């Protein structure tokens, strides 16, 4: 399993049909089960405890290998994150890649049931 946490600021912005940066990584690592994750937040945020009183920090994951994604999201959950599967590298990867992925920089929490209750 290869988790691509990088952001490619060098290439031209890929349009809706262009190859995503993680597809490029996958093409260059034949045989690897490539996932994209960790790239959308700063390192200091990632290093902090993801378990907040109100809920757990959301991490986005995309990838074409469902088994690898399941194992990785399980690991993230064990670490206290709230993973969200965005789909494959082409569609999901585009949502959290530079420069224009709409999920970049979004530091979200998945609220605990109790917190949701108090906010209703
Ligand atoms: N820092 C963050 O908060 C953060 C968060 C999420 C994602 N990311 C992404 O993670 C990636 C790394 O970020 P970083 O902050 O760790 O950057 P960094 O501190 O600048 O480290 C980059 C590393 O890549 C190596 N490198 C650069 N060009 C290379 C090349 N052509 N061939 C081989 N190695 C090369 C550098 O080696 P040398 O030291 O020898 O130059 C260095 O070890 C980036 O794509 C960034 O967007 C960063």
- Tokens describing residue 74: 């399980």
Superfamily holding 2-119: NAD(P)-binding Rossmann-like Domain (3.40.50.720)
Residue with tokens 């290439």: 11
d(CA 95, CA 21): 11
pLDDT tens-place string over residues 42-59? 999 999 999 999 999 999
Q: What is the pTM of this model?
A: 0.94
**Ligand 1 atom having least distance to the Cα of 44:** 3
What ligand 1 atom has the least distance to the C-alpha of 8?
Answer: 45
Q: Which of 22, 42, 97 to mutate to test the pocket of ligand 1 (most atoms within 8 A of CB)?
A: 42
Give yes or no for residue 5 CB within 6 A of ligand 1.
yes
Nearest CA owner, ligand 1 atom 18: 6
Q: Is the distance from CB of 62 to CB of 88 less than 8 angstroms?
A: yes
Q: Which of 118, 100, 92 is nearest to 37 (CA)?
A: 92
pLDDT, tens digit (0-9, with 9 covering 90-100), for 104-118: 999 999 999 999 999
């Amino acid at each position: 399993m290869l988790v691509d946490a990088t952001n490619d600021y060098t290439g031209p912005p890929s349009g809706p049909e262009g190859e995503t940066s993680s597809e490029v990584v996958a093409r260059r690592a034949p045989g690897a089960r490539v996932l994209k994750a960790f790239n959308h937040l700063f390192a200091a945020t990632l290093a902090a405890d993801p378990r907040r009183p109100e809920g757990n920090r959301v991490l986005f994951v995309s990838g074409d290998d469902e088994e690898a994604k399941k194992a990785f999201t399980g690991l993230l959950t064990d670490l206290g994150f709230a993973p969200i599967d965005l789909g494959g590298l082409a569609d999901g990867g585009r949502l959290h890649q530079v420069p224009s992925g709409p999920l970049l920089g979004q530091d979200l929490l998945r609220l605990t049931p109790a917190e949701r209750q108090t906010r209703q």
